[in-house]
Amino acid sequence: MNIKITGSGSYIPEIKISNIDFSEHLFMNEDGSPFVSTNEVVIGKFKSITGIEERRYAEPHIMTSDMAYFAAKKAIESSGIDPETLDYIILAHNFGDVKKDTIQSDAVPCLAARVKHKLQIQNPKCVAFDILFGCPGWIEGMLQAYAFIKAGMAKKCLVIGGETLSRVVDDHDRDSMIYSDGAGATILEVSNEEGGIISHESASHTYSEKDYLFFGSSYNKDLDPDVRYIKMHGRKIYEFALNHVPTAMKSCLEKSGYGIDDVKKILIHQANEKMDEAIIHRFFKLYDRKVPEGIMPMSITHLGNSSVATIPTLYDLLTNGKIENQELHKGDVIIFASVGAGMNINAIVYKY
């Protein structure tokens, strides 16, 4: 049984926020003290490490579920399926719908139910639910959809990753410059064509790694300490990713039966350009190989880190010829891989 992606879609918000837009921010250290370095220096270092030049923010009236709907609609259209034939709608996010300038998350009903409603799907047997799995949520949703189809519980699934991180960031934390908004979606179904999902790997490291990403107070001690924002221990995440993601990818590839020389593209979570490059270098080093030129398409430079949306958005852009000097060919072996809050890791070997 071949289980393939038959359609994809993405929603990239219209509002562009460049690095220079952060030049007037009051950045602080964790203890509330001001940075010694000027914002120009902070932004320069940020760009050299992350590779991010600009990011996208959702329009004020747009929620995560709206972006998820826009991406889902495109995925359904590109696949050519009747949405009434969908068995599952799985939506990965982390913070629900957050209205601009509010501090409360709204996830009742679940965002997948809201997307199903917006799609006007009447079939009650189309089950809609959300998953919270950090940045690797879309891949984990794909694995759940794959399992449902493999078990005979489904034939067609819609898997979405969407987030509005711009509404849960601390403006006084320089890490806020990393985050962005967006949504990506895919249709996964049984196919007569060769290929599809070949193997997968998934893990949760929670013993001492649980709080590498967390909700915490603003670095500005004059603000309400009970209002929480997304926070991270960047160095710990970097070291964790380098130690665990390459080995997870290797395990996944070994399960597939393909070799390192068969891999044509790696679509990795767009978290941090330097970190992603280091992960790929370490992965190829496990095989005593150099990283092939162009194997890792990137979108982070202009789209930032939109969490669960980064990989499905990247896939959609890549398959539609919108990543410069990058393309996929029928039969190409690719790897999807991600790491994020939990700390969770997952990977898929996929034949296009």
What DSSP string runs through 255-302?
A: HHT--GGGEEEEEE--S-HHHHHHHHHHHHHTTT-PPPTT-S---HHH
Strand 156-164 relative to strand 88-92, pairing: parallel
- Give the CATH class of 197-351: alpha beta
Q: Which fold has domain 2-194?
A: Peroxisomal Thiolase; Chain A, domain 1 (3.40.47)
pLDDT given at position 67: 98
pLDDT given at position 1: 84
Asked if the domains 2-194 and 197-351 are classified in one and the same CATH topology, the answer is yes
Cβ count near 63 (within 10 Å): 21
Residue 102 has pLDDT above 90, yes or no: no
Compute the mean pLDDT over every residue in the chain, rounded to the nearest whole number: 96
Residue 7 has pLDDT above 90, yes or no: yes
The mean pLDDT of 266-278, rounded to a whole number, is: 96
Confidence grade of residue 250 (pLDDT, cut at 50, 70, 90): very high
pLDDT in tens, 171-205: 999 999 999 999 999 999 999 889 999 999 999 99
Among 264, 218, 160, smallest CA distance to 28 is for 218
What residue segments make up the domains of the chain, in order of their start? 2-194, 197-351
- Whole-structure pTM over 0.85, yes or no? yes
Confidence grade of residue 238 (pLDDT, cut at 50, 70, 90): very high
pLDDT in tens, 200-230: 999 999 999 999 999 999 999 999 999 999 9
The mean pLDDT of 317-342, rounded to a whole number, is: 96
Residue 166 has pLDDT above 90, yes or no: yes
Residue 86 has pLDDT above 90, yes or no: yes
* CA–CA–CA angle 117, 141, 9 (5° rounding): 60
Confidence grade of residue 35 (pLDDT, cut at 50, 70, 90): confident
Residue 255 has pLDDT above 90, yes or no: yes
pLDDT in tens, 51-78: 999 999 999 999 999 999 999 999 999 9
Confidence grade of residue 103 (pLDDT, cut at 50, 70, 90): confident
